[in-house]
Structure 1
Amino acid sequence: GSFPIVLTNWDGLIIAEGHATALGDWMTTDFVPFTAMLEFTSPYPDGGQEFMKRGALILQKDNPSGLSENDDALEISIRFAP
């Protein structure tokens, strides 16, 4: 199984998108390890303002139906380095 992931800067601008892939049996109620790789340029320039370090990694529920009631996501706060 796989699911979409999104990386945003402090202002919510998407700077990278991709898919994460489960490393084991994803048909379980237990936690499942996953892997993903996103390539991006840090939005925090050397000497930039402190707020520019903030961003988010958003793990989205795979929703092949496209129905909004099946949407869900987990947003994880992150900090960028120059």
Structure 2
Amino acid sequence: MSNMVKEYSSSDLSRKSADVIAEALRHPVTITQHSKPRLVLMNIVDYKRLIAQNDTRSVHTIESMSDELFEEFQKAATEYGKNDA
């Protein structure tokens, strides 16, 4: 994984979901909410590599997101789906 981690706000995720996802496919991106890092989006290969390393950091699921952030994520995913059609 690259050391370079680009940050996007949760509103960026809603407005520019295709750009954010494209960036996350290349290297992990941080999603911020109220100027605080809240999520990291990364491609599945990097994610599996991280898990395989038995990293001691916690890996959380979508169920552990706040309701507000989950709603933003759902909106972004819906927009991404529209762009993909």
Asked if TM exceeds 0.5, the reply is no
Query: Considering only CA atoms, is the larger Rg found in Structure 1 or Structure 2?
Result: 1
TM-score normalised according to structure 2 size: 0.24
Q: Which has the higher strand share?
A: 1
TM-score normalised according to structure 1 size: 0.24
Q: Which has the higher helix share?
A: 2
